[in-house]
Chains A and B, each alone.
Chain A
Amino acid sequence: METPQLNSLYQQLILEHYRKPRNKAELEDKTVEVHLNNPVCGDEIRLQLRIEDDHIADVKFTGQGCSISQAAVSMMTSLLKGKQLDEAQGVAQRFTEMMHGDEAAAKDKSLGDLRALAGVSKFPVRIKCALLGFEALQKALKQGHAGDPR
């Protein structure tokens, strides 16, 4: 019944993150928060980070939306906890490359579970779903820097 394309999109790992999202909670001692929604489809993400010095000490999110947007942000938060800020930027860039069909990026171990989302690149109308969490991250990193007392 299922086409191969669909199998590549809806991998078990994605459905598992959708059903049991990691880090989906309020972050009490956040230092930066970004709220993004996609007015076209209504997907919504509120991303909260605690940035200490040059790294992400903690990250959590709340929101609602499709399996792709919610699984992507769940995977993203799992991967980013403890990462240096420039490493986090690197992950965001690599993930964006993967979404635009870069096959080397899709094999890059630095993307961890996020590699399961490689199939999204074959579904152009869904790419923005996968990128919503990373858009929030990039905004948060900018704000985090702007608020940096140093």
Chain B
Amino acid sequence: MAISTSTLGRDAQGASMAKAFDPARIRAQFPALHQEVNGKPLIYLDSAATSQKPQAVLDALDHYYEHDNANVHRGIHELSRRSTEAFEGARGKVAGWIGADDPAEVIWTRGTTEALNLVASAWGLDNVHEGDEIVLSVLEHHSNIVPWQLLAQRTGARLRYIELDDQGRLILDDLPKLLTERTKIVAISHVSNALGTVNPVKDIATAAHEVDALVVVDGAQGAVHADVDVRELGVDFYALSGHKMCGPTGCGALWGRRDLLEAMSPYQGGGEMIHVVGRDESTWAELPHKFEAGTPNIAGAIGFGAAVDYLSDIGMDAIQAHERQLMEYALEQIRAVDAVRVYGPDSLDEHSAVVSFTLGDAHPHDISTILDAEGVAIRAGHHCAQLVMKHFGIAATARASFYLYNTKDDVDRLIAGLSTVGGIFG
């Protein structure tokens, strides 16, 4: 759940706020949760893949298309003014969410993946050279591995990896060996999507900066469960996705330090990102538009902003406290199931709201099919983290992930479903 200041930014105020937190009221605000699947009430435990969306976000999307739909930044007319205001307002909300000083440091992207690719291309191709090194970890999602592999192949740079221990935590004792004057980038996830491991990003950033390496954080799972403060973390780039935190799919953001973003070449060329276009060359727009070629995902950004408002109103402290209680219960219950093995850190201080597990010789896909027949949606597979699976010598895990709308009853339904799995495969 990651509520220590050293790992996930601002401190959780904790239990007193949790009393005001009413999961039933929260659940009621998510229309998709109120349906039957295979004749059973849906239990959605796949929020780490994508979260469900509250009515407030759906309403914001409808309102935009029904009243304000127009392209941004170019019309002189009233609708364009309104859509631009909402679009830029949303940028400010996301900037506030992650503790950025200036909304101009927040670039809209399609999601975390595009944000990481943007850094790898626009910063990497100009600044990484043959013989340089990029430090990643075995814990990373493919979206924080493959862009760096592509960069390494194009530049002749070399990838080095922080290894994992048997609880799926980074072995940071190796860091002094891995970080050298050749290290240009350290790319690390804030929270592992596959295991829920919360990484000590601030400590890693401090160590990386001692060798003048930049720190790029995959925050897809990090910005979801806690207040993130990019300044406090001391990182250089932070990538996140709206759809993991109650926003619509197709819109995410890259935060970067202003001096870095200003010095970087553009990522894509097109409308919006230019200042003056000549026959042979052009000049670039100011931040953030320099990195936003073409008509952006206007509705997506506005929806992302509405999601930030929604979560802010509830309060991340209350959400964190709820998730921690739920995880304590879920881990205790799941560990008690016969033949279950849970992967990931033992301590809840290092373990976000994800439980990755296997059950005897039942393959995770079979577990998922059986749970689905019971109305319980989980994820099964390698979770786009094949290096993690390889580390544990397995092909796949079953993963239940929790969010603000989940309850203890959901955990009980999961456990009941697992006993059905045990009945078939036991």
Contacts and interface: CB of A to CB of B under 8 A. Distances in A.
B424 A126 contact: no
A5 B366 contact: no
* Residue from B362, B363, B386 having most chain A Cβ neighbours under 10 A: B363
A66 to B, nearest CB: 4
B425 A65 contact: no
Contacts of B361: 18-19
A42 B38 contact: no
Contact of B365 (A1, A44, A129): A129
A105 interface: no
A123 B362 CA distance: 17
Contacts of B381: 40-42
Given A2-B423, A19-B361, A67 B396 contact: no
Given A3-B38, A42-B389, A66 B420 contact: no
Interface in B353-397: 361-366, 369-370, 373-374, 380-382, 386, 389, 395-396
A27 interface: no
Nearest to B364: A66
A42 B396 contact: yes
Contacts of B380: 41
Interface residues of A, number: 24
B419 A68 contact: no
Interface string A9-45: 1100001001100000000000000000000111110
B369 A2 contact: no
A41 B361 CA distance: 16
Interface of A is mostly: mixed
A143 B416 CA distance: 47
A6 B365 contact: no
A85 B86 CA distance: 65
A40 B374 CA distance: 23
A5 B373 CA distance: 8
B395 A64 contact: yes
Interface string B324-335: 000000000000
A140 to B, nearest CB: 23
A6 B420 contact: yes
A80 B425 CA distance: 27
A41 B395 CA distance: 9
Nearest to A120: B369
A15 B382 CA distance: 23
Nearest to B381: A41
A15 B373 contact: no
Contact of B366 (A42, A44, A68): A68
Contacts of B424: 2, 6, 10, 15
Contact of A66 (B39, B366, B389): B366
A66 B362 CA distance: 8
Given A6-B370, A65-B365, 14 more contacts: A3-B373, A6-B369, A10-B366, A10-B424, A19-B361, A42-B381, A42-B382, A43-B395, A65-B363, A65-B395, A66-B366, A67-B362, A68-B366, A123-B369
11 contacts: A3-B39, A6-B370, A9-B369, A10-B366, A15-B425, A42-B386, A42-B389, A43-B365, A66-B364, A67-B363, A67-B425
